[in-house]
């Protein structure tokens, strides 16, 4: 693995859209008992369902700690690869490499990771093992790496259309715990150079109470160039209403890198999902305090789906909105089957299916 | 990775000779301070030289613990892949998979590993991480696996010509700490089924004071079918003399699987190599006792070389016998260059270059 002292843009590499062909997908086996209830048993079962759904059409590699390796190998079907790798938690989207391609070769980007806010408002300490994963994964996949470790970014805070446009949120990228010494313009320049995009669309915010500082991948996702799904609610008393409405207004007045106006599909959220006292009782404490409190609202959104080579792997919450969400995604991705996964056990950890996956673009060597 | 409930012989797979084309080589980064002096610093430098020599003509993967990962990545050149994997020590030959092929696909064999003798006369406790490595490596390389974990065998205790013949030693394979409940015939049947060989040549013993119970890969190696090098000394007062002479007598009266007589090339050992008091002082204790004592003889032999795609990577001991050994191997492998590596820092750990490497036969997918 070579470290490349240049930028993807300078070398003609770009981040492809998620619907472009994948060579594979990487995930991390969940383990920490302050993130996942009852020591992670239910979360692991849910992750296995996600991995299995994705593995129907692409090679999935699951990273497991030394301690969990045998569990992972036993629980996952044999065509899924398990590799030993240490981590602090299980969010492949946020600290696996962001992969770029020039159509022939793929390369990885290592961003800096500080647990969604470092000492300002990060979610756990330390985060050193997570931060090392992008580099280890580039080495594992034998791809060269751009090292932007001094720039804090999580993969879940960006979405691209593969055609020159990136969407992100100000709430996250301009947060005090990421890159407080960089201006919005400087941050945007990082995205342009690293993702090789022409235009960055800045939404103000994401999903209410999303502890990632409102990652874009929970509120808005491309389904094709100039066409997005937006997490929505019609309940004007829900704090989510103004947040989604703000996003809609921005999307309606913006154009993409090629000057196209956006088609916005509203993807209705489930009714507010809150954690129960019983679920909180299954979570270990962190720094002598509970990580969640009964009644706390979780950032449930159907936008947090993964586009695999032949499927849309999406979360279900056991809510009446499940089926309409499935139907909309089926309509928007007619060439893919929609695979719903009951995702409450993932949501409790603080994210969803998109957050726990990272696609690897297809290349000759994979 | 699928576990295959059959045998290589039944499926038409065999273990190729080491000189057949490799897709790669796997090694393990040394770390434990009771095996390697001064916390492994010198050993790591020597392993890096070995890996670099092999990587001139095949893809080398080095497994490093979480703790040593960064050191490995920093010390090894970028074209060598580093993957995180836990182990108890660093002997890839003995607990990485033995790979077999049918000419199209490769598969791995998992043997049981018990640290060269388990509770009878094993060299350390526990050995659980080592024992899991073959399985992890099959998964890493995405190859299916034959599981013979109930049969104790180390890769260094067998050599094959890829043409139906295996050489091993009674001292090791019939030792009390391996498979005491199996007869010699039953053990031989394992070798026939797993390596897909027709004939097993049993040498009585190996190198004097070789703590592996005298692995064959330190005393005798094929250089082509029906042609071997044999570690030798002309000093009749050296206990090695009778051991090597016994091997020679067996080889002179035996024929291989195809009925050919053996050509035996004597490869003279260096003068007895003993560990110094200073070197012993750099080794941590194990179970409250020193692992080596000053003056202890080490099992130094030039036979412990590795055949890479374009080279013979061989140990040098700073002895007058170095150059004649190099010249003989150069003559026997005229199409390969001979790369000598100063190997005292590896020898102190209890083995040599062949012991710390495991070749992976070439396949389409690698």
> Residues of chain B whose C-beta is under 8 A from some C-beta in A?
1-3, 59, 66, 69-70, 73, 78-79, 81-86, 129, 132, 135-136, 139-140, 142
Residue A282 Cα distances to A38, A45, A294, A315, angstroms: 5, 16, 11, 22
Residue B349 pLDDT: 97
Residue A47 pLDDT: 98
Say which of B59, B78, B142 has its CB closest to residue A2.
Answer: B78
Burial class (CB in 10 A: 0-12, 13-18, 19+), A61: buried
Q: Say if CB B222 and CB B17 are below 8 A apart.
A: yes
DSSP of A314-356 = EEE-SSTTHHHHHHHHHHH-TTSEEEEEE-HHHHTTT--TTTT
C-alpha–C-alpha distance, residues A364 and B61, integer Å: 20
Residue B196 pLDDT: 98
Residue A364 pLDDT: 59
Say which of B70, B79, B139 has its CB closest to residue A82.
Answer: B139
Query: Kind of pairing, strands B220-224 and B199-203?
Result: unpaired
Say which of A59, A69, A139 has its CB closest to residue B81.
Answer: A139
Using CA atoms of A232, A237, A243, A249 in order, give the dihedral in degrees to the nearest 10: 70
Angle at B18 between CA B17 and CA B20, to 5 degrees: 70
DSSP of A200-220 = EEEES--STT-TTT--GGGTE
Which residue does chain A place closest to B142, by CA atoms? A81
Q: Say if CB A345 and CB A45 are below 8 A apart.
A: yes
Tell me if residue B151 falls in helix, strand or coil. Answer: strand
Query: What are the DSSP E strand ranges found in chain B?
Result: 3-4, 22-28, 59-64, 81-84, 98-101, 106-112, 145-152, 159-160, 165-169, 199-203, 220-224, 227-232, 263-268, 273-274, 297-298, 306-307, 311-316, 337-342, 358-361
Count CB pairs under 8 A between chains A and B. 53
Question: Which of A98, A116, A92, A120 minimizes the C-alpha distance to A191?
Answer: A98
Question: Which of B220, B296, B217, B314 minimizes the C-alpha distance to B262?
Answer: B220
Span B124-155, pLDDT tens digits: 999 999 999 999 999 999 999 999 999 999 99
How far does CA A333 lie from the centroid of its chain?
Answer: 19
Which residue does chain B place closest to A69, by CA atoms? B136
Tell me if residue B2 falls in helix, strand or coil. Answer: coil
Residue A366 pLDDT: 37
DSSP state of B354: T
Span A298-351, pLDDT tens digits: 999 999 999 999 999 999 999 999 999 999 999 999 999 999 999 999 999 999
C-alpha–C-alpha distance, residues B296 and B336, integer Å: 35
DSSP state of B182: S
Question: Which of A93, A110, A99 minimizes the C-alpha distance to A23?
Answer: A99
Query: What are the DSSP E strand ranges found in A153-296?
Result: 159-160, 165-169, 199-203, 220-224, 227-232, 263-268, 273-274
Residue B363 pLDDT: 86
What is the CB neighbour count within 10 angstroms for residue A193? 17
Residue B364 pLDDT: 59
Say which of B69, B70, B139 has its CB closest to residue A83.
Answer: B139
> Residues of chain A whose C-beta is under 8 A from some C-beta in B?
1-3, 59, 66, 69-70, 73, 78-79, 81-86, 129, 132, 135-136, 139-140, 142
Tell me if residue B303 falls in helix, strand or coil. Answer: coil
Span B31-56, pLDDT tens digits: 999 999 999 999 999 999 999 999 99
Query: What are the DSSP E strand ranges found in B47-198?
Result: 59-64, 81-84, 98-101, 106-112, 145-152, 159-160, 165-169
Burial class (CB in 10 A: 0-12, 13-18, 19+), B159: buried
Residue A330 pLDDT: 98
Please report, in tens digits, the pLDDT of each residue of chain A (366 residues total): 999 999 999 999 999 999 999 999 999 999 999 999 999 999 999 999 999 999 999 999 999 999 999 999 999 999 999 999 999 999 999 999 999 999 999 999 999 999 999 999 999 999 999 999 999 999 999 999 999 999 999 999 999 999 999 999 999 999 999 999 999 999 999 999 999 999 999 999 999 999 999 999 999 999 999 999 999 999 999 999 999 999 999 999 999 999 999 999 999 999 999 999 999 999 999 999 999 999 999 999 999 999 999 999 999 999 999 999 999 999 999 999 999 999 999 999 999 999 999 999 998 543
Residue A363 pLDDT: 86
Residue A234 Cα distances to A231, B33, B111, B261, angstroms: 11, 64, 62, 88
C-alpha–C-alpha distance, residues B194 and A222, integer Å: 52
Which residue does chain A place closest to B83, by CA atoms? A140
A2 contacts in chain B (CB < 8 Å): 78-79
DSSP state of B78: T
Tell if the CB–CB gap between B81 and A140 is shorter than 8 Å: yes
Q: Say if CB B111 and CB B191 are below 8 A apart.
A: no
**% helix / strand / coil in chain A, to the nearest 5?**
30, 25, 45
What is the CB neighbour count within 10 angstroms for residue B357? 28
Calculate how close chain A gets to B293, using CA atoms only, in Å. Answer: 34
Question: Which of B267, B364, B360 minimizes the C-alpha distance to B309?
Answer: B360
Q: Say if CB B130 and CB B87 are below 8 A apart.
A: yes
- Residues of B designated as active site: 355
Tell me if residue B52 falls in helix, strand or coil. Answer: helix
* pLDDT beneath 50, residues of chain B: 365-366
Number of H helices, E strands in chain B: 12, 19
Question: Which of B195, B190, B168 minimizes the C-alpha distance to B179?
Answer: B190
Mutate to test the interface with A, among B61, B64, B72, B136 (most CBs of A within 10 A): B136
Residue A301 Cα distances to A294, B11, B323, angstroms: 20, 50, 71
Calculate how close chain B gets to A86, using CA atoms only, in Å. Answer: 7
């Amino acid at each position: 693995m070579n470290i490349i002292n240049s930028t993807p843009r300078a070398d003609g590499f770009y981040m492809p859209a998620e619907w472009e062909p994948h060579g594979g997908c990487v995930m991390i086996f969940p383990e920490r008992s302050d993130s996942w209830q009852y020591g992670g048993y239910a979360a692991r079962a849910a992750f296995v369902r996600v991995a299995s759904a994705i593995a129907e059409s692409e090679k999935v590699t699951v990273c497991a700690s030394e301690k969990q390796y045998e569990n992972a190998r036993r629980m996952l079907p044999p065509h899924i690869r398990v590799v030993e790798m240490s981590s602090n938690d299980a969010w492949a989207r946020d600290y696996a490499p962001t992969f770029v391609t020039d159509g022939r070769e793929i390369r990885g980007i290592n961003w800096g990771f500080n647990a969604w806010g470092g000492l300002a408002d990060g979610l756990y300490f330390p985060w050193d093992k997570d931060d090392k994963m992008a580099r280890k994964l580039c080495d594992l996949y034998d791809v060269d790496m751009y090292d932007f470790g001094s720039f804090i970014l999580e993969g879940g805070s960006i979405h691209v259309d593969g055609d020159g446009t990136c969407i992100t949120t100000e709430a996250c990228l301009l947060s005090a715990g990421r890159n407080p010494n960089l201006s919005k313009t400087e941050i945007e320049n990082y995205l342009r150079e690293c993702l090789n995009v022409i235009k960055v669309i800045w939404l103000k915010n994401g999903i209410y109470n999303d502890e990632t500082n409102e990652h874009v991948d929970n509120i808005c996702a491309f389904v094709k160039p100039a066409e997005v799904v937006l997490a929505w609610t019609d309940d004007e008393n829900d704090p989510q209403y103004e947040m989604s409405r703000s996003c809609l207004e921005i999307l309606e007045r913006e154009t993409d890198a090629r000057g196209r106006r956006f088609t916005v599909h509203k993807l209705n959220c489930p009714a507010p999902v809150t954690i129960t006292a019983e679920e909180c009782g299954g979570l270990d404490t962190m720094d002598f305090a509970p990580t969640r409190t009964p009644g706390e609202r979780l950032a449930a959104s159907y936008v947090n789906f993964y586009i695999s080579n032949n499927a849309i792997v999406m979360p279900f919450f056991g809510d009446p909105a499940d089926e309409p969400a499935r139907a909309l995604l089926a309509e928007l991705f007619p060439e893919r089957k929609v695979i719903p996964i009951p995702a409450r056990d993932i949501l409790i950890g603080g994210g969803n299916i998109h957050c726990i996956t990272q696609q690897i673009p297809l290349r000759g060597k994979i």
